[in-house]
Structure 1
Amino acid sequence: MIVIGLDLGTSGLKALAIAEDQSILAESSAALSVARPHDGWSEQDPAAWIAAAESAIGALLDRIDAIAVRGIGLSGQMHGATLLDASDRVLRPCMLWNDTRSHAEAAALDADPRFRAITGNIVFPGFTAPKLAWVRRHESQVFENIRKVLLPKDYLRLWLTGEHVSEMSDAAGTGWLDVAARDWSEALLEASGLDRDRMPRLVEGSEVSGRLRPELVARWGLPSDVVVAGGGGDNAASAVGMGVVKPGTAFVSLGTSGVLFAATDGFHPNAASAVHSFCHALPESWHQMGVILAAADAMNWFAGVLGSPAPALTADLGDLQAPSRTLFLPYLGGERTPHNDAHIRASFLHMGHDTDRAALVRAVLEGVSFAIRDSRDALASTGTRFDRLIGVGGGTRSEYWLKAIATALEMPVELPVAGDFGGAFGAARLGLMAANGQGAEIATPPAISRVVEPERDLCGAFSEAHARYKESYAALKALSRG
């Protein structure tokens, strides 16, 4: 038996095939681009997702025995507002997770105490609910024609199965889910001018959400009984891929955004901390995470400014050094945890005549590391702690960055062996559970290739720099609003 995992990211779609023993058989990918027509806007055309999926799946099927495929699992970027009319036509470009134009609408919804009480979370500008409020206010004709609201990966599901379905982990990031009850909240939908009929049906991530449409079965030469699992939001699916499903386990992801994700022993919300308290992708399980909006994205931005590839910039840094006076606050498009601030923007601080290119590169890496520590502290304020941390994402290719994060957090960071244990692998694991009709062993973490230890003699210096980093936020906040 073969199962396919699809991960719809911001910059690309990945397809991965695993065997029943969870060994990886093949993988492929297709690139995606983001449109930013105005400051704070971030959009994609859902048609590009379908084209990317067609390309990646086609390439994948050329490398495996297609007739052995039994299931497909889905993972994807969260919070996006994909708006469909009565004929399932897309009404406007999808507003993505890092689109912050709806900050005023988010504040208005967050002022309604029902949202925090029912969802357990702040209504962040990146969530889906404020995006719909923005559309209602600024594009009323579009709003009136909405018949279904889907999250990005669930639009792929519609194309694959013809079904309007979502699952708990992704739905928890909309601002409309009763996270404890794992169901849509009628009260919150009504507050947004919506109703249950406009929302997808909900399943658990390991359940069957539908079967592959006959047209696709015929086109790809697949069996007629291929099931599509509920899947998970990108971070929950990545956690499944890494076996981060039990309390005490966590991962840090250095992708476009930065995530510190910890499995919890139940639903323990603390909205004031700006920590996300969401359903996990498995039944009766939950997690918490701190989210920063620019991690590898910050390094890629600075590399573009310097006109040099990011890997080359970080490879030249040598051994970890104590942070200098120079600080970088990585708020290129606002920030979530712990600030919930859509207005704040990034800044270099405390530069001098001796500040050179290497010092600025170190400041960017350290700034993101300090932002991750902010998330660690925010999780701790809710009572969530962990004793095992796995590192994933493109940023973990930088040894200097890994050392900086381990030192800032004062704990080791474990790195998986070569292979993909992210969203696509987690989606495939969920697809395997759905196809098997029974539980699969998904709590197993990947084999660890090595452990990056903190530089204990530099932990004090990093703590002092982090304190200055936190103090600088208030001044930067005043400037950003000036």
Structure 2
Amino acid sequence: MLYLGVDLGTSAVKLLLMDGQGEIRKIVSREYPISFPHPGWSEQNPEDWYEKSIEGIRELTKDVDRSEVAGISFGGQMHGLVVLDEKDEVIRPAILWNDGRSTKETDYLNEVIGREKLSAYTANIAFTGFTAPKILWMKENEPEKFARIRKIMLPKDYLAYRLSGTFCSDYSDASGMLLMDVKNKCWSKEMMEICGISREQLPDLYESYEVVGTLKKEEAKKLGLPESVKIIAGAGDNAAAAVGTGTVGEGMCNISLGTSGTIFISSRKFQVDRYNALHSFAHADGYYHLMGCMLSAASCNKWWMQDILGTSEFTKEQEKIVKLGENQVFYLPYLMGERSPHNDPMARATFTGMTMDTTREEMTQAVLEGVVFGLRDSLEVARNLGIQIERTKICGGGAKSLLWKKMVANIMNLKVDVIESEEGPALGGAILAAVGCGEFESVEEAAAKLVKVVETVEPDEDLTEKYEECYQKFRKIYPALKPVFRKIVS
């Protein structure tokens, strides 16, 4: 049988077709626009997601026997607010994960409601990217539209709803809304009351590998697929990517160097760090995970290369970097503020330590190193919880860089496992679809059989020691500049 994984990203939808042996038959993608109607705002039209996904599924399956397609599942951009009225029409453009308009509402939740209460209700504190602050913003600034809300959903769940008619979400994605009691895997009554919404406005919750329905007749006809095709709940993009890299079960780690950057640590038990520096979410394997999320990772390199240096020769620029562990130029990777572990929307990117003889190569090196240093900040929080990590998988566009992988290995002192098929959330979605259709008994079994490590980048003892000294310098820069950021941003 064949299984479809749909990765609903920020700039495009990526669709992957996989068979029961894990062979990837085909991948297609379709881009859609993103709008920035005001500084710091970020929105998309959910209809674009649907239309491009339909177009992509048709293209993906045009050369195969469509009767063999058994299931469709998803990995999707998290935290976005999608709201429908009583006619199931979209009320306003979706407010995305990287939208910063809800600073006031985030401060209200953290400072007035209080971090301790939020952590007790949801296992997390408020971040501007989360869904609950967006709901409060809409309640305050668009009261007429807020009053029309009948359904609140996340981006990938809008696709599931259009395809199956089931109003649903999964535990991993819903964990990032700040509306769910993560420990007990249910909606938080306290958070619903704080946000002024009802249980009826929120979707039913499922494990990521559970079947939520089948294709509606009209959608099946539109796609040329059988009505029997199962729709499986899917997961938030980071959880889906973790499935695709085999980061499931106890004590596994995955680092993603995508537009944003994450460090993802899977666990069979629920846990929260007392400072809430890491997100404590449910995982797509039925258990839990801790995650540190940087808003800017590979996007820092793209900004530096394309917008500042004016080049697309990423690999060529990196070939000139040879003095690892010796750079005295440091870069704070906070182009869009920062989430983990600082939770500071006012943080900004900076270069520090430049002199008259600083070179282009040193500044490029600083950008790459700064992203890894920033991710290590979150790793240190996990280590302080007593979590012992010795190795990590790696994914995302940045994972294609041998230099960046070497930096990860030595800055974090971890063995970095490179997998055979690094296709992120799309592959994770396809694996979840296979589990949901009974191809495998569990997500862990599927990952063990389908995910293969083809290379390991080992840390070098001498280089790790050099980078330890560099990291100790790096970690002093943000605290020193934090009060300055507040003055220049306000």
Give the structure-1-normalised TM-score: 0.96
Alpha-carbon shift at residue 271 of structure 1 (Å): 4.9
1:254 to 254, 257, 271: 257
SS in structure 1 at match of 2:446: coil
Alpha-carbon shift at residue 139 of structure 1 (Å): 1.6
Is 1:206 the counterpart of 2:209 in the alignment?
A: yes
User: CA deviation digits over 1:417-443, x for unaligned, max 9?
Assistant: 2x2442111111111122228614224
1:447 to 445, 452, 468: 452
Q: Which moved more, 1:22-31 or 1:437-446?
A: 437-446
Letter in 1 for 2:83: L
2:236 to 192, 215, 233: 233
Contact 1:82 1:95 in 2 (8 A): yes
Alpha-carbon shift at residue 470 of structure 1 (Å): 1.4
Contact 1:320 1:403 in 2 (8 A): no
In the TM superposition, 1:153-172 aligns within 5 A as 153-172=156-175
Q: Which moved more, 1:57-66 or 1:172-181?
A: 57-66
CA distance in 1, matches of 2:390, 2:465: 20
Alpha-carbon shift at residue 239 of structure 1 (Å): 1.4
CA distance in 1, matches of 2:70, 2:125: 39
In the TM superposition, 1:117-156 aligns within 5 A as 117-156=120-159
CA distance in 2, matches of 1:70, 1:271: 43
User: CA deviation digits over 1:119-138, x for unaligned, max 9?
Assistant: 11111111000011111112
Alpha-carbon shift at residue 318 of structure 1 (Å): 4.2
In the TM superposition, 1:242-321 aligns within 5 A as 242-283=245-286, 285-303=287-305, 304-309=307-312, 311-319=314-322, 321=324
1:222 to 212, 222, 225: 225
SS in structure 2 at match of 1:449: strand
Identity of aligned residues (%): 39
Q: 1:128 to 1:310 in 2, by over 3 A?
A: farther
Letter in 2 for 1:478: P
Equivalent position of 1:58 in the other structure: 58
CA distance in 1, matches of 2:440, 2:20: 13
Is 1:476 the counterpart of 2:481 in the alignment?
A: yes
2:411 to 390, 408, 414: 408
Q: Which moved more, 1:307-316 or 1:251-260?
A: 307-316
Letter in 2 for 1:18: M
Number of residue-to-residue matches in the alignment: 480
CA distance in 2, matches of 1:438, 1:21: 10
Contact 2:20 2:439 in 1 (8 A): no
Equivalent position of 2:103 in the other structure: 103
SS in structure 2 at match of 1:25: strand
Give the CA RMSD over aligned residues.
1.6
Equivalent position of 1:4 in the other structure: 4
In the TM superposition, 1:177-216 aligns within 5 A as 177-216=180-219
CA distance in 1, matches of 2:35, 2:274: 31
Alpha-carbon shift at residue 203 of structure 1 (Å): 1.0
Q: Which moved more, 1:24-33 or 1:76-85?
A: 24-33
Contact 2:331 2:352 in 1 (8 A): yes
Equivalent position of 2:363 in the other structure: 360
Is 1:70 the counterpart of 2:70 in the alignment?
A: yes
Equivalent position of 1:464 in the other structure: 469
Q: Which moved more, 1:88-97 or 1:339-348?
A: 88-97
CA distance in 1, matches of 2:35, 2:351: 26
Letter in 1 for 2:29: S
Equivalent position of 2:350 in the other structure: 347
SS in structure 2 at match of 1:173: helix
CA distance in 2, matches of 1:314, 1:291: 27
Letter in 2 for 1:148: K
Letter in 2 for 1:242: T
Q: Runs in 1 of length 4+ with deviation above 6 angstroms?
A: none
Q: Which moved more, 1:388-397 or 1:472-481?
A: 472-481
Structure 2: which 5+ residue stretches go unaligned? none
Contact 2:315 2:401 in 1 (8 A): no
Q: Which moved more, 1:379-388 or 1:363-372?
A: 379-388
User: CA deviation digits over 1:268-302, x for unaligned, max 9?
Assistant: 0125141011001133x101111111000111111
Letter in 2 for 1:79: H
1:398 to 396, 401, 418: 401
Equivalent position of 1:425 in the other structure: 427
Structure 1: which 5+ residue stretches go unaligned? none
Contact 1:403 1:455 in 2 (8 A): no
SS in structure 1 at match of 2:7: strand
User: CA deviation digits over 1:70-117, x for unaligned, max 9?
Assistant: 110111010001111111211222111111221221121123243211
Contact 1:165 1:203 in 2 (8 A): yes
Q: 1:292 to 1:353 in 2, by over 3 A?
A: same
SS in structure 1 at match of 2:451: coil
Letter in 2 for 1:298: C
In the TM superposition, 1:350-389 aligns within 5 A as 350-389=353-392
Equivalent position of 1:42 in the other structure: 42
SS in structure 2 at match of 1:149: strand
Q: Which moved more, 1:26-35 or 1:328-337?
A: 26-35
Letter in 1 for 2:140: R
SS in structure 1 at match of 2:256: strand
Contact 1:73 1:230 in 2 (8 A): yes
Q: 1:383 to 1:273 in 2, by over 3 A?
A: farther
User: CA deviation digits over 1:369-426, x for unaligned, max 9?
Assistant: 1001111101122233323311111001111111111110011211112x24421111
SS in structure 1 at match of 2:368: helix
Contact 2:245 2:422 in 1 (8 A): no
Equivalent position of 1:26 in the other structure: 26
Contact 2:435 2:446 in 1 (8 A): no
Letter in 1 for 2:57: I
